[in-house]
């Protein structure tokens, strides 16, 4: 169903979010890599998306994926919000927030205690109650992976965490 119609019917836009399917992978990659070309996100390979497809949620407008987010489990009590993106023409309509809240609902169900994000848009996450932390306070497993990033060591991402 189109977003405008859903709003007219008074539906919660949460109904337009579902877990991703393998058939969504190419659209997810296009969405993420559109922003990675603008240096707003890290590029993701199809292989990486297929391997982690169970982490992903998608926001569907009619048949089109217009938003995505992933919740990745890092440790016994720690998860990461990753790969958050909303198509430009649908931004500033509350979709990004709904996607993150959906991922946080799953985090709670999984009994995760904390969820972090590494991001270029810290303000967006602050509005959701995340607070800034030193990246090095995250388990070494996480920042240890940074050495494999093309941006290492000139990373400008901010680390934020939410206790849930």
Contact between 96 and ligand COA per CB under 6 A: yes
Residue matched to tokens 């306070």: 137
Contact between 85 and ligand COA per CB under 6 A: yes
Alpha-carbon radius of gyration of the chain: 16
Of 6, 53, 73, 121, the residue at the interface with ligand COA (CB under 6 A) is 121
What is the 8-class DSSP label of residue 12? Answer: -
Q: Per-residue x/- mask for ligand COA, residues 122 to 151, rule CB under 6 A?
A: -xx--x------------------------
Exposure string of 15-41, with b = 16+ CB inside 10 Å and e = fewer, is ebbeebeeebbebbbebbbebeeeeeb
Q: Which residues contact 127 (CB under 8 A, 6 or more apart)?
A: 97
Minimum Å gap between C-beta 32 and ligand COA is 8
Q: Alpha-carbon distance 46 to 50, whole Å?
A: 6
Contact between 34 and ligand COA per CB under 6 A: no
Closer to ligand COA at the Cβ: 61 or 119? 119
Of 23, 92, 136, 153, the residue at the interface with ligand COA (CB under 6 A) is 92
Residues making contact with ligand COA (CB under 6 A): 35, 40-41, 84-86, 91-97, 117, 119-121, 123-124, 127
């Amino acid at each position: 169903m189109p977003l405008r119609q859903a709003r007219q019917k008074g539906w919660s836009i949460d109904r337009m979010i579902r877990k991703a399917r393998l058939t969504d992978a190419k659209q997810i990659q296009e969405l993420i890599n559109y922003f990675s070309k603008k240096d707003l996100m890290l590029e993701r390979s199809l292989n990486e998306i297929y391997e982690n497809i169970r982490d992903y949620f998608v926001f569907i407008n009619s048949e089109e994926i217009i938003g995505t987010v992933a919740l990745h489990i890092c440790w016994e009590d720690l998860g990461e919000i990753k790969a958050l993106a909303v198509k430009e023409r649908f931004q500033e309509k509350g979709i990004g927030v709904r996607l993150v809240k959906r991922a946080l609902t799953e985090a709670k169900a999984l009994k995760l205690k904390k969820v972090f994000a590494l991001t270029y848009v810290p303000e967006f996450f602050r509005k959701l109650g995340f607070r800034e932390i030193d990246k090095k306070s995250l388990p070494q497993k996480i920042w240890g992976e940074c050495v494999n990033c093309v941006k290492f060591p000139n990373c400008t991402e901010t680390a934020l965490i939410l206790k849930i």
